[in-house]
Amino acid sequence: MILGVGTRYSDFTSASKTAFQNPSVRFININVCDFDAYKHAAIALTGDARVTIEELQRAVTGYKVDASYQTKISAFRAAWEMEVDRIHGIRKDPPITQGEVIGIVNHHTEASDIMVCAAGSMPGDLHKLWRTRQPGGYHMEYGYSCMGYEIAGGLGAKMACPEREVYVLVGDGSYLMMAQEIVTSLQENCKLNIVLLDNHGFSSIGGLSRSCGNEGMGTEYRYRRDRKYDGDLVPVAYEANAASLGLGPQESARAKNSKLRCWQPQAGAYFGGGDRDCL
């Protein structure tokens, strides 16, 4: 039995629906939208998520799954926690891995901090590797991989919860689409911690296209040569770009020891990291 709360069963959250392979699987969906509530021939509970869950909780008071099932689930969870630890602790010299960056930021942050992300391969990795410790600490744009949402969304999260630190994880492709809200965050005195992973373009969709027999569709930032994008990498100075928007450099020993460089102005912070080049 799967209880879906406010979900549209998108590709990210359902592994393109391959997560539901047991022929006996059944669904109960809680959603304000009838269309989503009835997905997968579910028992549809159309209504507010909090109110519906409170009513369900009263209805199932005292119910427990059998001990063997509890043991099985505990074993699965323990095995996955070990795998997360392994990926977090790879400790590869630059260029460092994306999983390692996620682990560094996760360990660096406090339980009350908020992580914001949106597009590329990071939503999939964060979905698996980020350990959320307090409600509201994981903010992901799961709808349509909305590139450019990250910094603007982080600003919104900070305005909603000014007492909490906000960490924005963004790839270089998304950053170049819309980094301008850094200026707004400075104007509004809303501190953001921006972690930029530089893989020279749109490596997520580039890898997907190559896996399907294409040649990447120009998804790497390379100079055009003989009508193809197979020249040298286009150098982009993200530190300089961030500085031009009001951010100034200040080394952070803690970040440096974690293989990240911290660019920390009066009201914001810029972290650089990468799975090819470490800024």
Collapsing DSSP states into helix, strand and coil, what is residue 173?
Answer: helix
Using an 8 Å Cβ cutoff, are 233 and 222 in contact?
Answer: yes
pLDDT digits (tens, 9 = 90+) for 195-221: 999 888 888 888 888 888 887 778 888
Q: Is 4 helix (H, G, I), strand (E, B) or coil?
A: strand
Q: Which residue has the tokens 């028992």?
A: 43
Q: Kindly report the average pLDDT of the chain as a whole number.
A: 85
Strand pairing category for 261-263 and 269-273: antiparallel
pLDDT tens, 43-69?
A: 999 999 999 999 999 999 999 999 999
To the nearest 10 degrees (0 to 180), the angle between helices 98-108 and 67-88 is 100
Q: What percent of the chain has pLDDT above 90? A: 56
Express each pLDDT in 91-114 by its tens digit.
Answer: 877 778 899 999 999 999 999 999
Q: Which tops the pLDDT comparison, 16 or 32?
A: 32
